[in-house]
Amino acid sequence: TEKRVFNFSAGPSMLPVPVLEKAAKQMLNYENSGMSVMEMSHRSSSYLDIFEKTKGLLKKVMNIPDDYKIVFIQGGATQQFSMVPLNLLKNGKADYIITGAFSKKAAAEAKKFGEINIAYDGSANNFKHIPTQDELNLDPEASYVHLCANNTIYGTEWKYVPETNGVPVIVDMSSNILSKPVDVSKYGMIYAGAQKNMGIAGLGVAIIKEDLLQKVAPTTPVLLDYKLMIDNDSMYNTPPAYAIYVLGLVLEWIDNLGGLEVMEERNIKKANLLYDYLDRSDFYICHSNKDNRSLMNVTFTTPDKDLDAKFVKESIVAGMTNLKGHRSVGGIRASIYNAMPIEGVEKLIAFMKDFEASNK
Ligand code: PMP
């Protein structure tokens, strides 16, 4: 592991080393099955054990109530931008809260299927801010309210669940799921792409309150029908079998460390180190407003674009990768998901101090 770099990628991103080690150990011969998990029939007893164990651990770690169902799907989080309106637009109307690039994409997709009310749009302030309850223009007749819990590109995060008077809240948690405890019962549905805190690309997860689902229009493609996926326990067709196995290993790692309370403690500690340093510095500028800073994606700039580029270039030489900000914000983005050790954040801060001293 001594040659591994601190990888600040927004996703796919770092995995915990014990997860990679276990996957490596089990690669050629999974528990005396004589084959790797990649080579197993998804209907075999070896694989069904992995599948059930993974579902059970997700339910345990997230404390998912019994009236919610877990669905594994391919197509990433983006496929769910289509599935949500296809399955949940009961009266053709829904609210979308736009706090960044992905919630904007989700709303644009939903507009193909219904009458979408934009309950808030943060584009005017370049998505530095998460709306307060008073700033939301919610439609009482909406079938659901959609929001993105953590804005991967802008580095902002919701710190509360909005009050919607009984209208179900549907949340894209792609970039902060498993980073802290959440009260699942406050949401109608939670969904995420797996390639950040849950594991590897190729898997999307949905956690749905089952009574929200109804019969879908007969033209709905089978693989976009949540109810059909639940009725077939995510095995209507071949599921992303290896990605589900990796999710199981990640959940086992989280559970062994003490669950989501411990993840949250670790994540607060890491993020505070960085934000405290950013606040003390008069060189770096943090993108997000103070009250809605993300624990997962820390976005900031140096005084100018050339220095941003120099920062990124020199950070690679120093043993850190993927610190370049997304093209729509520029600057630097440090994604510090669950698997980023505190040593990575300490190393980044030491580098930032040196860079500030020599470029001020
Ligand atoms: N939502 C959020 C918050 C994301 O960060 C991403 C990917 N970075 C997506 C949606 C899109 O996910 P996918 O690539 O799995 O479709």
Domains 26-257 and 259-359 share a fold: no
Q: What's the pLDDT at 1?
A: 64
Q: How far apart are CA 44 and CA 41, in angstroms?
A: 5
What is the C-alpha separation between 10 and 301, in angstroms, rounded?
Answer: 17
What is residue 288's predicted lDDT score, i.e. its pLDDT?
96
**Hey, whose CA ends up nearest to atom 14 of ligand 1?**
76
**CATH hierarchy code of domain 259-359:** 3.90.1150.10
Say how many Å lie between the CA of residue 108 and the centre of ligand 1.
Answer: 15
Determine which residue's CA is closest to atom 6 belonging to ligand 1.
174
CA nearest to 113, candidates 222, 220, 206: 220
Residue among 9, 13, 103, 152 whose CB has most ligand 1 atoms within 8 A, to mutate = 152
Which of 13, 84, 102 is the best mutation target for the ligand 1 pocket, counting ligand atoms within 8 Å of the beta carbon and taking the most? 102
Q: Where are the domains of the chain?
A: 26-257, 259-359
Burial-class residue 219 by CB neighbours within 10 Å (0-12, 13-18, 19+). Answer: exposed
The CATH number of 26-257 is 3.40.640.10
Atom of ligand 1 nearest to the CA of 173: 3
Residue 165 has pLDDT above 80, yes or no: yes
pTM of the full predicted structure?
Answer: 0.98
Q: How confident is the model at residue 177 (pLDDT cuts 50, 70, 90)?
A: very high
- For residue 102, the CA-to-ligand 1 centroid distance in Å is 7
Binding-site annotation, residues for L-glutamate: 43
120: its two tokens? 């808030």
For residue 122, give both structure tokens: 């943060």
> What is the distance in A from the centroid of ligand 1 to the CA of 53?
25
Pocket probe for ligand 1: among 8, 73, 78, 299, the residue whose CB has the most ligand atoms within 8 Å is 78
Q: Tell whether the model's pLDDT for residue 159 goes beyond 70.
A: yes
297-313 pLDDT per residue, tens: 999 999 999 999 999 99
Condensed to tens digits (0 to 9), the pLDDT of residues 39-87 reads: 999 999 999 999 999 999 999 999 999 999 999 999 999 999 999 999 9
Nearest atom in ligand 1 to the alpha carbon of residue 103 is: 1
Closest CA to 22 of 33, 36, 11: 36
In ligand 1, which atom is closest to the CA atom of 149?
3
pLDDT band at 106 (very low <50, low <70, confident <90, very high): very high
pLDDT at 215: 87
What integer pLDDT is reported at residue 101 of this predicted model?
97
Query: pLDDT, tens digit, for every residue of 214-250?
Result: 889 999 999 999 999 999 999 999 999 999 999 999 9
Question: What tokens appear for 249 in the block?
Answer: 């290993």
- Alpha carbon nearest to ligand 1 atom 4, residue: 174
Cβ-based neighbour number of residue 285 at 10 Å: 13
Residue positions forming the annotated binding site for pyridoxal 5'-phosphate: 77-78, 102, 152, 172, 195, 237-238
Residues whose beta carbon lies within 6 Å of some atom of ligand 1: 11, 76-78, 102, 148, 152, 172, 174-175, 193
Q: What is the distance in A from the centroid of ligand 1 to the CA of 34?
A: 36
Residue minimizing CA distance to atom 15 of ligand 1:
76
Average pLDDT of the residues of the chain: 97
Question: Is ipTM beyond 0.90?
Answer: yes
Sign of the CA dihedral running 44, 46, 47, 51: positive
- 280 C-alpha to ligand 1 centroid (Å): 32
- 175 near 154, Cβ under 8 Å? no
Which pLDDT score, from 0 to 100, does residue 360 have? 87
